[in-house]
Amino acid sequence: MSGAGEILVVGLGPGPEFWRTPEASAALERATDLVGYQPYLARCPERPGQMRHGSDNRVELERARLAIDLASAGRVVAVVSGGDPGVFAMAAAVVEAVEADAAARHLSVTVMPGVSAMQAAAARLGAPLGHDFCAISLSDNLKPWTLVERRLRAAAAGDFVVALYNPASKARPTRIFDAFDLLRNVKAGSTPVAFARAVGRPDERIVVTTLAEADPSIVDMATLVIIGSSESRLIDRPGGTPWILSPRQAGGGAA
């Protein structure tokens, strides 16, 4: 293999091809190698001669190092993530791996953004992120749970809409209950809540409820949770799931 290697950090979007950017699709065509978590590779079209390097979850840094090795050998490597690689996905691991490897600093690295899960969920829900919001990963693999708690409290103190990523896994099935317990102590029970699972995929399921009535046991790792601000409200839709509106106009009411 000759030529200059490259790393393309590609966001596949939430699932369906109609939510994948043309830039991402072109990268999947051009790459000589695809590197990623196995279920994301399965979403990429098969191309003759293209090598696939699938891996398990939770090995982001190893995956990034493999991409560096391949690109250093002259390959054009697409590192694929669901959603946006910059939002709780592979961009941080690739940048971290390049930082740690002086030779890799000279590689061409291009991050290609994508539609993230909270945006797909928001599209189905009307306008839940219509105002200031924050995004928090509930995963405590790489940060202490006390930091998650601090951020949930700060999000409530700032009366932000909150999008929760990675709300559950086999390794930490109870964290979403801890998070809801914390939020129920600092936000009104009437606050709108949505559980948006696998939006855009065949097994999409959306539940709209309130903080008081929400049952966090329905979440899994494919679920994105949205919790409103004090101004967010439910709007009934004839024959459909209610919308959540976080209005543009805000009065600054207490959380």
Window 69 to 98, contacts with a copy of itself (CB under 8 A): 84-88, 91-96, 98
Asked whether the CA dihedral 47, 111, 17, 26 is positive or negative, the reply is negative
Q: Which residues in the 158-177 window bind a copy of itself by CB under 8 A? A: 158-160
For 77, the enclosing helix (H) or strand (E) is strand 76-81
Least Å distance between CB 184 and a copy of itself? 18
At residue 59, φ and ψ (nearest 5 deg) are -125, 40
What is the footprint of a copy of itself within residues 1-20 (CB under 8 A)? Answer: 13, 17-20
Residue 237 found at the interface with a copy of itself (CB under 8 A): yes
C-alpha dihedral (111, 171, 137, 190), degrees to nearest 10: 140
Q: Which of residues 7, 31, 155, 193 is near a copy of itself by CB under 8 A?
A: 155
- Cβ 211 vs Cβ 28: under 8 Å: no
Name which of residues 117 to 146 contact a copy of itself (CB under 8 A). 119-120, 122-124, 126-137, 142-144, 146
Cα–Cα distance for residue pair 204/185, rounded to 1 Å: 30
Q: In this complex, which beta carbon is closest to a copy of itself, that of residue 52 or of residue 145?
A: 145
Size of the site for a copy of itself (CB under 8 A): 76
Instruction: Sort 5 into a burial class: Cβ within 10 Å, 0-12 / 13-18 / 19+.
Output: buried
Interacting stretch for a copy of itself, rule CB under 8 A, among 33-41, 155-163, 173-181, 216-224?
155-163
Secondary structure letter of residue 45 according to DSSP? P
For residue 122, the minimal CB distance to a copy of itself (Å) is 4
Number of H helices, E strands in the chain: 7, 13
Which of helix, strand or coil describes residue 243? strand
Q: Is 151 in the site for a copy of itself (CB under 8 A)?
A: yes
Q: Are 199 and 235 in contact (CB under 8 A)?
A: no
Provide, rounded to whole angstroms, the least separation between the CB of residue 112 and a copy of itself: 6
Residues 166-225 close enough to bind a copy of itself by CB under 8 A = none
Q: How far is the CB of 80 from a copy of itself (least distance, A)?
A: 15
Among 166, 191, 223, 246, which residue sits at the site for a copy of itself (rule: CB under 8 A)?
A: 246
